[in-house]
Amino acid sequence: MIGRSRNDAGQAFPIYVVMVAGLLFLVFAFFAVGKASALRNGAQGAADAAALAAAQQARVEFEGPFRASLPEDLLDAFLRAHKVPPGACSAAYSLAAANDARVEDCRSTPGGYTDRITVDVKGRKPVDSSVLPGSEETFAKATATAVVKFRCSWTSVDYNDDSIRDMFFFSCGKDFLKIEPSNPPPWSEVSKILYDVHLVDN
């Protein structure tokens, strides 16, 4: 009886080792999947922040051409034909770096009153799991798109009948603005009313 019990124990030991090894593999695999998911979420957050930063910077850089278009009543032409300023993507690079990622591409699509800026980012940290072959060269990637949308309708007045517009009146949802081209208010006070910036689905 004693000899048979020792023999059974000897046969069970390899099975026990295999089970423990299997459980350890599952633990590491779950850890790798969790790490990959966390890195993917981090990359998406970096992409979102970078795209928003680019759109906000574009709104800032619209100041010069926007104001220049007012006196001769060329605002509609500016809104329809302008390009997204090149400096917008510089802001995307900075925000991505601050979120432990780097920008792989930043592109803009002017669309009349609405401009789209799309940013592709790649995380700086690899998955690097011993149970996932090639994971040391696998990095999280993500894409985000933000829009800069001109949200107002307007009318203008030429008080002196000299073909130079003296006043613009903007209706922007619940907000109303009056802008005198010869003495415009600070751009920081009006740009967020004139332009809406937000993320959209890719």
Q: DSSP for 27-44, please give it.
A: HHHHHHHHHHHHHHHHHH
User: Does residue 45 belong to any structural domain of this protein?
Assistant: yes
Instruction: Write out pLDDT tens, residues 51-83.
Output: 999 999 999 999 999 999 999 999 999 999 888
Q: Are 199 and 52 a contacting pair, CB within 8 Å?
A: yes
Mean pLDDT for 96-122 is 91
The CA distance from 3 to 65, in Å, is 94
The CA distance from 85 to 46, in Å, is 21
User: Does residue 111 belong to any structural domain of this protein?
Assistant: yes
Is pLDDT larger for residue 37 or for residue 77? 77
pTM of the model: 0.79
User: Does residue 91 belong to any structural domain of this protein?
Assistant: yes
Position 164 pLDDT exceeds 60? yes
Give the DSSP letter of residue 136: G
Number of domains in the chain: 1
Burial degree of 103 (CB within 10 A; 0-12, 13-18, 19+): buried
The parent domain of residue 77 ranges over 2-149
The CA distance from 145 to 36, in Å, is 23
**Which residue in this structure is represented by tokens 């802001």?**
91
% of the chain at pLDDT higher than 90: 59
The CA distance from 98 to 121, in Å, is 12
* CA contacts within 13 A on the Cβ side of 200: 14
Instruction: Tell me which H or E stretch contains 139.
Output: strand 139-150
Instruction: Write out pLDDT tens, residues 171-183.
Output: 999 999 999 999 9
User: Does residue 181 belong to any structural domain of this protein?
Assistant: no
User: Does residue 173 belong to any structural domain of this protein?
Assistant: no
User: Does residue 113 belong to any structural domain of this protein?
Assistant: yes
